[in-house]
Each structure stands twice: as structure tokens, then as C-alpha cells.
Structure 1
Amino acid sequence: MIRTLEGIVRPYAWGSRTAIASLRGLPVPSPHPEAELWFGAHPAGPAACVAPIGAAGVDLLHAIDADPVGALGISTVASFGERLPFLLKILAADEPLSLQAHPSPEQARDGFERENRAGLPIDSPVRNYRDPWHKPELIVALTEFDALAGFREPTETVDLLRALQVPDLDPYLGMLAGQPDSEGLRALFTTWLTLPEAILASLVPAVLAGAVDLLAAGGRWGPELQTVCELGEAYPLDPGVLASLLLNRVRLQPGEGLYLPAGNLHAYLRGSGVEIMANSDNVLRGGLTPKHIDVGELLRVLDFTPVPTTELTPAIRTVGAERIYLTAAPEFRLSRVELDGTGLRHASSISFDMPGPQILAVLNGSVEIRAGVGEPMAIRAGQAGWLGDDDPDVVVRATSSRAVLFRALVPQRPAT
């Protein structure tokens, strides 16, 4: 059954008081920060079904549970079980998120079983693995979007550390200059993450002072220096401030994407975007947070191989009005669709006939979804449409002069 979904707002402290409220047509600023708007079937916040008549009062999780094969399809159930394997979000960050990484499928299964054997409750604050799934993710910018993602080429990081001209950094600079590869990055990152607070109390301020001086002098490292200064102000004694110097500083323009596979150390800094991820809660934190940090487990998960940002940028395939972001994730595929209700510049409608579950989140304007000769389902900005595997092919038509939606689905592969 095609359904209209109302997303669930997650009020994390780093969120925006304007972006999500504005998208949903509500007064701004909102009473509290709104960080994420979830469209999915995650147990912690399943989207509410608000239409058609008879579906209201049911959330998407229970709708899928009532008929998993009909909702998800045989192929999805065979690959991922009776659960929607992705979670689609609108993310709006006014402050930096924590420095973090996600495990591979094997690491997630092993870690989940290990913590189960140890008797750790699922909701324990010191638990690393809350489920046996990995968590690749893709963010597509809606506004200018800043992030840290992946370890920078070590020789460039050596240049940055030298340019800071901070004598307290010399021993650490020597570690990377003497071994400018993944092992040197591992050694330096591990050292910084395990420094005693007494050393951090002098090292971090010295680095920040050097960053301020170098920023004033101008040059190539402006975004990196601005970021380390902002993080140092928010987290004065956090080793994640130092770790940020090792990572690529990324700025996405609207429509650009960033794909983060297992082991990639990253932190979203500021901006709004559409995020899709495997449906998992597994996060290993590395700093910029008061939450639990398991250094040993983080080091086991991290991939210290330097990666240029071009390798984290998904290729895009355009099919008519649809721009498809191509990644290796088996759980999801995300695309952007722009329709023109006037029919003057772009197509006013598009047909979707791919099997499996789909969520269509409307970000601008409004659309109607029509299946066969039935009554169309109206979806406005800030809402989403749910298409189950057993739903017929649909036509999505713009009912405003400009309509933008994001389409999330499970790539179909042969069942094993």
C-alpha cells in the first residue's frame, strides 16, 4: 500500500533551529535544535503513516512487520532479513558532530557477538555494537556542507604541521615525517588519542595559537586552520582537535555527495544534507564528544590508508530527470529528481517501476503519486511517500512549479 510518511525529528544539541522547521513549513526558529528528520523504519524512530485513510496511526516499522515480503520483496528479505535495510534522513548541523567511524560487516558481527557474550546490555553507554550490521553512509548536500573525511596524504599533513611552527609539535611531526604512510598515521593518531590530559592542556592551546597566527598570515591552509580553531574553542582539551589536522577538509556544494565506507574517520561540521545509511546504530567515536570512546576498538576498525577526497565522491549517472549517486553499498541507492510543474524547462512527471521498497522524500514543492487508475496520493515538502514491493508501478507528477525529491531504494541483486 502506497503511504504518506511524516518524518520523526531527532532533537540533538548540534542541530539547526531553522532548516528542518522551514522544510516542514513550521515557524522558525524552532523551540529546540532539530538535527535530523528520519524517514524509515528504525526502531528508535519509525516514520508515521499519515495517509491513506486506514493507514493513519500506524508507523512504517509496524507496517513492514505486518507483511515483510509484500513490503520489502523476496530479494530484500533474502539478503537483509525482514527489516528495511536503509535509513533515510534529512540532516541539519549548526555545530560539529563527533569524530567517528563505522565497522565493516565482519567487524560488526564479531563485535556484536562479543559484547553479547560479555553480557553488556544493548542500551549500555559503553557498548560499541548495538546490532550486527555495518553502516556505510552517503550524504548529499542541500546547502554548502563542511566535513572532515578520511586521512590526508601524510606528506601534505607534514607540510601543514611544519607551517604551524609550534615547537611542542616537533616530536609528533617527526613521527609522521619519518614514516609518511598509513603506519605513521596510525602511530601519530594513537599517540594523540592517548595523551595524558596534562600534556593536552599545553599542546592543544599551543597548536591553536599557531593556527591563529598562520591563519592571519594567509595561505593555502585557511579552511583547515579555521576548523581546528573552531573545534578547539568547542572542545578545549579534546584530542580530536589534534586529530582533525590529519583529515581531509571537505566542502560540498549543493547536489554534491560524500560516500563514507567502513573504517573512514569523519566528522560533519556544518550544513544541511540528505543522508542515507545502512540501518545500523554502530558508531566508534574518536573525539569531539563527551560520549564513550573505546580507543582499542576504534583502532581496530579504522582504515589509516590515506584517501583523496575524489575517491569519496560518488559518480553520478543521469537518467532523464533522475541523478543517481553510485556507491558500493548493497543496502541502498539514492537519487535526486527535479520536476517542473509547468513543463517548460524539465519533465513534469517521472515513472518508477523498480521492485523492492522505496521512499520518496520531497524537499521542495509538492508532488502526487498515482498508481494505475487509483486516486493520487499528495506529498508536500517535508513529507515522504512509501512504495512497497507489492505496490504497482507509479507515476510521480509535480503539482508545484518546481518539485525536488530524493528517491531511496534497495539495489536489486539476485538472492543467494
Structure 2
Amino acid sequence: MERLQGRARDYAWGGPEAIPGLFGYPPARGPVAEVWLGAHPDDSARVGVASSEPLFDPAQLYGIGEGAAVHEQTLEDFIASDPLRALGEDILEGYGSTLPYLIKLIAPTQPLSLQVHPSKAQAQEGFDAEEAAGISRSASTRNYRDRNAKPELVYALSSFEALVGFRTPRRIAEVIKGLRTPLAEKLRRMVLREGVQAAFSYLVSPETAPSSDRVVKLVEACAERDPEKSPSRRADAAVVSLADTYPEDPTVLASLLMNPVSLRPGEALYIPDGTVHAYRRGVAVEIMASSDNVLRAGLTEKHIDVPELLKIVRADAAPPMRIAPERVSPSTSVFYAPVEDFELSIVNLADANVWDSQRSEGPRTVVCLEGAVRIQAGGQTMVVNQGQAAFVGADEGRLWLRGFGKVVIAAVP
């Protein structure tokens, strides 16, 4: 077992309070959008940190100890030093010396970009093309930073708001009806006659996107519509909220085409490849295939590549995929997404005198969200307090837990 320390990402859509506050720490000196706890080469977690260290690096969040040498080994390097021991034979054969999943804490206080993730075949093709074109993997204009797909599951720790996938054409037309502006009527006719793909492409493509004054008028119409008479007050509110952050951006109107989703704490949402989505606000654990491939259409200052996004987006209407947990023991529930890369267990412990056996095998990442938990595997024992994490290798066999608290365990099915 190895103690882990995650790597924080200071994207502008994050805030200084949510993730530190989750574990009782003061606000950071800048935004903390995500904390990565995986072995992705873009920002691998550290192993071998002291037992007193928190989940994140104080130098990153508070400037404490800046300039000091980083002595800890990365999880990526730790796995590469003995991949058979860390990952196990089956995963090594299927994935190579790569940890199949990436687990994060995520806390948007402003909307994330309107985005889509590629399939594995699309990622491989796109990555190879950008490599051949000589685009640096760290370049801001890079779309494909690896060759992997990025299906993902979000487990809400607070109320969590998102926009996910497209509504049916008739439902979109119903939502838009009554917003008496020329742009609203154009969108309604386009959806019914040409389909959702045409309407979405019209809004997000720079060559066809409506002018800022037409966008503003439609946003105003959403704001002024009587909630009691609106066919979707949530759609109206989403447009207005997005426009507060991105005024005059035509892609805020894409939310009229999409399904609004509200998760309560403990609920989970799965995002398959090709599904357009935008997380709006909340705090969650996010687990995905180990990838950082994102195609963006708007609602961001980052690189946007609409033609590439339109190649991979799925325009068919589909309801959001809420994943129900399977109760595998009195203490443990598991979210099984329809992929082979990851599963997420939620363990609630209430008896410090009883060891609780976990059924997961292979490489596992344990993150303590509440309380304090003693973990045991491979003849070793370690205490993981709130706001700490550990990596358990495949060779260490069955994992046992006891204590008072709540942990999440990332594993491979």
C-alpha cells in the first residue's frame, strides 16, 4: 500500500473553497477545480507521502514549501517500476502498464465547457493525426492528449447540476415555443424539419452562429417568461445562468436542446463517449477511463474545435444515464458503469471493532471522505483519515477496512 497525494488543477471554473472545505481546510489562494488521484501522465498523483499529508499538495494550494524539491515518486512511475505487481496479470495484458482509471474530486462553481469525449477508435485516430502534424502534447490547441476513450461517472457529494445529452425534437420545440423572438422560431423550425444535429451545429459553428444581439434577445425572453406558464422553467433558468457567465455566447442557447440534470448527494450519472454535456455546479467524485481527451464547442476560454466535435457528437435523443448502485454488503454499494475500465464502491463504516471485507481486486484507490478508516491488505495496515488516500496494488490481495467513516474505492471490474 502507498499513500497518495493528488494534483490540483486551477481551472477558472473552480473556486478556492469547495474542495479544501470538504476536508476542513481553509480556502486556497486560487481556484481548485479538480484534484487528480490517478496515474495519467499529464498530472500523476504522488506516492510515498508522509502520513500527516493531506489529499492535495500544500505548495499548490497555499504556497507552503514552494521551491522545495519534490521527493515523492509519481504513481505513474511507481506502477511502471513493477507493473505486474501493481496491476496484475489480467490488466497488464489488457491495458499494458497503465492504470485503467482516473479518479478525481471535481468542484465547478462556474459552468464547465460544452464538451464531448471521443470513443477509443476516434481517440486513437485523432492522437495519431496530431502526432503526425507535430502538435506538442502540452499545446493548448491539442485535442487528443492520449489514445484512450473517456467515459466517465460522476458521484455527487453535494447537489450537482449538469446538462447532458439532447432532448427529443418535439420536446425541444415545446420548450422553445412561446419564446417570441425570431431566433427562437428559427430554432424551433430547424429542429422539427432538419433535426437536432442541424440546430446544434447552427448554434456552435462560428460560420453560422447567431449574432450577439439575437442571442441577448432570446436570453431575455427566457428570463422574462412566466415560470408558471413555462414548459420548462429549468431550461429557462439554465439559459439565464449560463448567460450570466458567458454573455452573448450563442452556445448558451444549446442548453435549450439538452437535458437538465440535478443530482442529490449519493446519486450518480454516467457520460458515455459522444454525449454532449456541461457540468454547471456542485462537488463530486468523478471516475473515468484514464484519459484527458476533450472536444469543446463553447462556454470556455480554452481551445475550441467545433468541426472535430461535430464529427464525434451523438445527436440522437437520449435520457441522462443515472446509474443505480448495487448493494453488495450492508456497508458497501457499487456503481457499475457499462465499461470495463472502472467501478466505484461507496463504503460506510460504523463499527471500528469489525473488519469489513471488500470484494474488489486488482489495483485500487481508496479515498477517505469522512472519519478515519484503518485499511489492511497484503499483510500491511494503514490509517487513512478524512482527506487522505491510498493506492493498493493487485499483488496485495483482498482489502479489509474498519473504523468510522465513509470511503470511496476506485477499482477495475
1:337 aligns with 2:363: no
Displacement, 1:215? 4.7
How many angstroms apart in 1 are the aligned matches of 2:86 and 2:352?
Answer: 34
Shift of 1:212: 0.9
SS at match of 1:88: strand
Alpha carbons 1:38, 1:88 under 8 Å: kept: yes
CA distance in 1, matches of 2:209, 2:334: 49
Distance 2:409 2:165 in 1: 27
Match of 2:377 in 1: 371
In structure 1, what is the equivalent of residue 236 of structure 2?
A: 225
Partner of 1:25: 24
User: What is the identity percentage for the equivalent residue pairs of Structure 1 and Structure 2?
Assistant: 39
1:410 to 2:388 alignment:
no
Q: Distance in 2 between matches of 1:152 and 1:45?
A: 35
Residue from 98, 121, 131 that aligns with 1:83? 98
Q: Name the residue aligned to 2:326.
A: 317
User: Which whole-Å CA distance do the structure 2 matches of 1:160 and 1:196 have between them?
Assistant: 26
Aligned to 1:126: 141
**1:152-231 alignment, distance < 5 Å:** 152-179=167-194, 184-195=195-206, 199-215=210-226, 219-231=230-242
Task: Map 1:221-370 onto structure 2 (within 5 A).
Answer: 221-309=232-320, 312-320=321-329, 321-341=331-351, 349-370=355-376
Q: Distance in 1 between matches of 2:228 and 2:181?
A: 15
2:33–2:108 CA contact under 8 A, matched in 1: yes
CA distance in 1, matches of 2:4, 2:392: 11
What displacement does 1:236 show? 1.6
| Secondary structure at 1:84 match in 2 | coil
TM-score (norm 1): 0.90
Matched residues in 1 for 2:251 and 2:302: separation? 13
Match of 2:107 among 78, 86, 92: 92
Q: Is the 8 A contact 1:136 1:277 kept in 2?
A: yes
| 3-state SS in 1 of match to 2:32 | coil
8 Å Cα contact 1:141-1:252 kept in structure 2 = yes
Deviating more after overlay: 240-249 vs 120-129: 120-129
Letter in 1 for 2:168: E
* Residue 386 (structure 1) aligned to one of 391, 396, 401: 391
Report deviation, 1:270. 0.4
Structure 2 unaligned regions, length at least 5: 52-70
Distance 1:358 1:215 in 2: 50
Work out the CA distance in 2 between the residues paired with 1:11 and 1:125. 15
Query: Distance between the aligned counterparts of 1:396 and 1:158, measured in 2?
Result: 52
In 2, Cα distance between equivalents of 1:273 and 1:187? 33
**Mapped partners of 2:179, 2:369: distance in 1:** 42
Q: Would the aligned equivalents of 1:100 and 1:285 in 2 still touch at CA under 8 Å?
A: yes
Structure 1 contact 126–292 (Cα < 8 Å) conserved: yes
CA displacement at 1:226 relative to structure 2: 1.1
Rounded Cα–Cα distance in structure 1 between residues aligned with 2:363 and 2:167: 37
Contact 1:339/1:349 (8 A) holds in 2:
no
Once residues 397 and 23 of structure 2 are traced to their aligned partners in structure 1, the CA distance between those partners, rounded to angstroms, is 28
What do residues 188-240 of structure 1 show as CA deviations (whole Å, max 9, x unaligned)? 11111225599421221011110011155554422211111011121123221
> Measured at CA, do residues 166 and 410 of structure 1 come closer, stay the same or move farther in structure 2, by a change above 3 Å?
same
Q: Find the counterpart in structure 2 of residue 8 from structure 1.
A: 7
Three-state SS of the structure 1 residue aligned to 2:396 is: coil
Shift in CA distance, 89/317, structure 1 to aligned 2, threshold 3 Å: same
